[in-house]
Amino acid sequence: MGINRLEDLFEAVKGRPRRKLIAAYANDEHTIVAISKAIDLGLIEGILVGDEEVIGGVCRHENIDPAKFTIVHQPNEQLAATESVTMINNGEGDIIMKGLVSTDKFMRAILNKENGLLPPGAVLSHVTAMEIPNHHKLLIASDVAIIPEPDLKQKVQMINYMVQTAVALGIENPKVAAIAPTELVLPGLQSCTEAALLSKMNERGQIKGCVVDGPLALDAAVDEEAAQIKGIKSPVAGKADCLLFPDLNSGNVFYKTNTKLAGAESAASLVGAKVPAVLASRGDSIETKLYSIALAAMLVK
C-alpha cells in the first residue's frame, strides 16, 4: 500500500538501516532542530559540518544535547560544503543536506568536476512529494527547483526519478502526467509535442515501470470529474501519481502556490547525484526539512 501522508514516512524509515546524514554549514536553527528530531525518531545519525561555537549556541537555545551529533568544525561556508561532499565521497555519509550555505555554493560543491557527487553523464534533478489538503493522495512533482528548461532527454530522466520515488513510497506502476496547457497536441507548443513523444516512448517500452500520458492539463491530470467532462479516456487522467512539468516556471509556481496558499506540506530531494541530497530552502519550515530528511532516507540505495 502506498504512503498517502508524509508523516507515514517516519514509520517506513524506522524499519530500515539507520543512515548517516551530513549537513553542510549546519549553523541555523531549522536545520539543527530538524536533524535533532530525525535522530530522536530513529531515522538517521547526524553529522553537522559548520561553526562549532554557533552550533553549540543554537543547541543551548533549543535545549538540544549537542552530544547527539557528530560536529565537524568548519566556519567557512564554501569550505563546509566542500568538506561535506568530500566526506560523502569517503563513505562517511549516506545523505547530504544543505544547511545555512547558499544554494549556489552548495551546488558548486556537488557539481565540482573533480571532487563532486555527480556521476559522468548523470542528470541532476529535483523531486518533490506534496501532501495537499484537498487531494486524496500524495502528488510527486518534478522539476520545481533545478532544471530551467529540460530537453526531451532530461524529461525522460526526470520521469525515471519520479518513478523511483513513487516506488519507494509504495506506489506500483505509477501514473505519470506530462503537464501542458491543453490535452491537444499543438505543434506550436513544445510542452504539448514533447508530452506526446514521452507518452509514445512509454507505450513503446522506452520509458519503463510506469504509465505515461500527455499532454494533459493540470485539471485533467488530477481531477477525475474534469477528465470525464473533457471526454478524456486515459489510465492517467484524473488519477496521476506523478506530475512532469514542462519547465521550472510552471513547476515552481505549482509548488509555491500549494505550499503558500493551499497549506500543502512537502518533502523534497535532489536526485541524480551519488546520494540523495536535501535541498530545502533556508526559509523552509522545520517540518518540511524533517519530511525531506525522511524522504531522502527512503531513497538511499
For residue 12, which amino acid is it?
A: A
By CB atoms closer than 10 A (0-12, 13-18, 19+), residue 24 is buried
User: Burial code of 87-117, b = ≥16 C-beta within 10 A, e = fewer?
Assistant: bbeeeebbbbbbbbbeeebbbbbbeeeeebb
Q: Look up the pTM and report it.
A: 0.94
Q: State residue 285's pLDDT score.
A: 86
Q: Which residues are CB-contacts of 48 (< 8 A; sequence separation ≥ 6)? A: 23, 26, 32, 35, 55, 69, 70, 71, 72, 99
Q: State residue 1's pLDDT score.
A: 55
CB neighbours (10 Å) of residue 263?
Answer: 11
Q: State residue 243's pLDDT score.
A: 98
Predicted confidence pLDDT, tens digits, the chain (301 residues): 578 899 999 999 998 999 999 999 999 999 999 999 999 999 999 999 999 999 999 999 999 999 999 999 999 999 999 999 999 999 999 999 999 999 999 999 999 999 999 999 899 999 999 999 999 999 999 999 999 999 999 999 999 999 999 999 999 999 999 999 999 999 999 999 999 999 999 999 999 999 999 999 999 999 999 999 999 999 999 999 999 999 999 999 999 999 999 999 999 999 999 999 999 776 678 899 999 999 999 999 8
Q: State residue 74's pLDDT score.
A: 97
Angle at 155 between CA 149 and CA 157, to 5 degrees: 130
Phi then psi for residue 73, to 5 deg, are: -75, 115
Q: State residue 281's pLDDT score.
A: 74
Nearest Cα neighbor of 56 from 26, 81, 99 is 26
